[in-house]
Structure 1
């Protein structure tokens, strides 16, 4: 693969002078097809080379070819980050498949695009399988009516109380939005009552017939309806752990890996890197660490985190990223933090040592 940049296969100087756009477009399609077929086998270095090539090519090809490039990358778990982000900010004809499906885009990326791009971009984001509050807050605040309808109808979209109130306020004049909100299973009693107050007669009948008032007293499913039904393997399959492990192991080999890296990964929403760093610091196998940081039972993670001396701030940050952002309710998150504070270093070390011996035996 390193020969791709060293040979004449991609001569960017010559391409810049090429008058016929077809040659540039054909090359872009060839590179995209090659990468999509080999991405799972590529090394970190090879992905970085592809990234450089595709970023440069994307600036030299027509919209149709960029759209092909984006479509090819949209479903890949291991896709070049800079290329994906660049195309996700392109015209909606290019960006749409990435905004709808790419797991390479981080929540921070989606927030930025939702804030600064068009309603068409927001509508595509609103159709993602999973959406955290940080993104839906922007979509509801900035999006037009179709965007709000799509967010409300998305069972995998987490909504803050403020977003629900905004949606209900907008729904006063829109029956379709009223129905979409009424179908959600994460509304609490007060929100259902608010909705019924502004709903049309048709929607009121639908809400009452569906028994919403009877179920309004249940606890809010803050982790999201869709998220609660998805198993560990679904979540683990969304992330590129291999590339992240390569980066983190490189830092560790230089003797530089520390808690500040772990905190930074959490703050930057880099879940795979955080998992890799935690596995090295806690002396856990990579696969074991992945499952510990995706499961709804956080006790093993909390014990290990305490035993290696992580701070409260770092643990709190880690409990809010990746799958835990969706899978943990606020109550569970607070329970985990209480356990972390209650555990002594001596007790955590003892429990973790027992677990390690069990794994060896």
Structure 2
């Protein structure tokens, strides 16, 4: 181990031995800052060291966080700092994600790439609605995770999943959402505009939808189509190009150039394109006579 690593371990041991809440919080912040300063350059062994050190500190802080608001704030800050880091210590992330305080668990539940599908399914099956809402807002979710979330039947979670384009939903999952949407106009509109909604379930949704919901669905589909059309933004449709005078002019074939009947005019044009470096010879007497033939 390097001197820096030994120093970290000694500091952690000292903080744990003293048992001071302030000392533990200060050490946890320092270790987190040290990790963040070079997070992209650590190897697996160094990440494992930070993982062990921070998990011990966080475990101690969690015991005090029950009655200490400052400890809860510190853990929430650490969670927010580590959530977007791809190389974040995995055991620390899992520990934070399973914290019952949503302010602590929320950032890593919603953003951390260190949480695999198995851990997300476990949390979706055991935690409360706020934790499930955080998971439902992740940028990418597989069917195995969304099935676990929808099995809990929270309408708020279904709305967030339906509105999340990165959440992949199975046929059974869509059936749950469509069933809930019969009495939930917001959910009906959110799921009705999804392109991956099976056709049979779309027809079921429209049969049970009110006129207001159908109108909103039609309006939402038009907005989506309009945005897609603007994103492609062709220069001009073919019909417009045909009627456009500028386009017509630019596409019109060039008129054939008139050729002078006098041979000298064509020759003069060819000669003018030659470099003026003296390569052009002085016309002969015969040529001068040809240019001005004597009248007969």
Please list, as runs of the form range in 1=range in 2, the aligned pairs for 1:42-191 lying within 5 A after superposition.
42-61=42-61, 62-90=71-99, 91-191=101-201
**Cα distance in 2 between the residues matched to 1:197 and 1:158:** 24
Counterpart secondary structure, 1:56: helix
Q: Pick closer, same or farther for the CA change 1:208–1:6 going to 2, 3 Å.
A: closer
The Cα shift of 1:4 comes to: 4.9
Deviation for aligned residue 1:126: 0.3
Conserved? CA contact 1:153–1:183, under 8 Å? no
1:193 aligned counterpart, secondary structure? helix
Instruction: State the partner residue of 1:28.
Output: 28
State the aligned residue count: 213
Whole-angstrom CA distance in 1 between matches of 2:25 and 2:220: 53
Q: Deviations over 1:66-115 (max 9, x none)?
A: 11111111001111111111111112111111111111111111111111
Counterpart contact for 2:88–2:114, Cα < 8 Å: yes
Shift of 1:209: 4.6
Shift of 1:191: 1.6
Q: Deviations over 1:206-256 (max 9, x none)?
A: 2245569xx9xxxxxxxxxxxxxxxxxxxxxxxxxxxxxxxxxxxxxxxxx
Structure 1 position 8, deviation (Å) = 6.8
Counterparts in 2 of 1:8 and 1:190: CA distance versus 1, 3 Å: closer
Alpha carbons of structure 1 residues 115 and 4: separation in structure 2 relative to 1, 3 Å: farther
Q: Deviations over 1:147-180 (max 9, x none)?
A: 1110111111111110101011111111111111
Q: TM-score, normalized by length of structure 2?
A: 0.67
After TM superposition, give the deviation of residue 24 of structure 1 in Å: 1.3
CA distance in 2, matches of 1:171, 1:187: 13
Aligned to 1:342: none
Q: How does 1:205-354 map to 2 (within 5 A)?
A: 205-209=215-219
The alignment yields a C-alpha RMSD, in angstroms, of 2.1
Quick check: 2:178–2:188 contact (8 Å CA) kept in 1? yes
> Separation in 2 of the partners of 1:54 and 1:8?
10
Deviation at 1:22, TM superposition (A): 2.1
Whose radius of gyration is greater, 1 or 2? 2
CA distance in 2, matches of 1:156, 1:111: 17
- Separation (CA, whole Å) in 2 of partners of 1:119 and 1:100: 14
Structure 2 CA distance for aligned equivalents of residues 143 and 86 of structure 1? 26
**What CA distance in whole angstroms lies between the structure 2 residues aligned with 1:83 and 1:2?**
22
For 1:122 and 1:9, the matched residues in 2 are separated by: 36
Give the Å deviation of 1:121.
Answer: 0.7
Query: Residue in 2 aligned with 1:276?
Result: none
Partner Cα distance (2:160, 2:220) in 1:
21
Compare relative contact order (CA 8 Å, sep 6+) and give the higher one, 1 or 2. 1
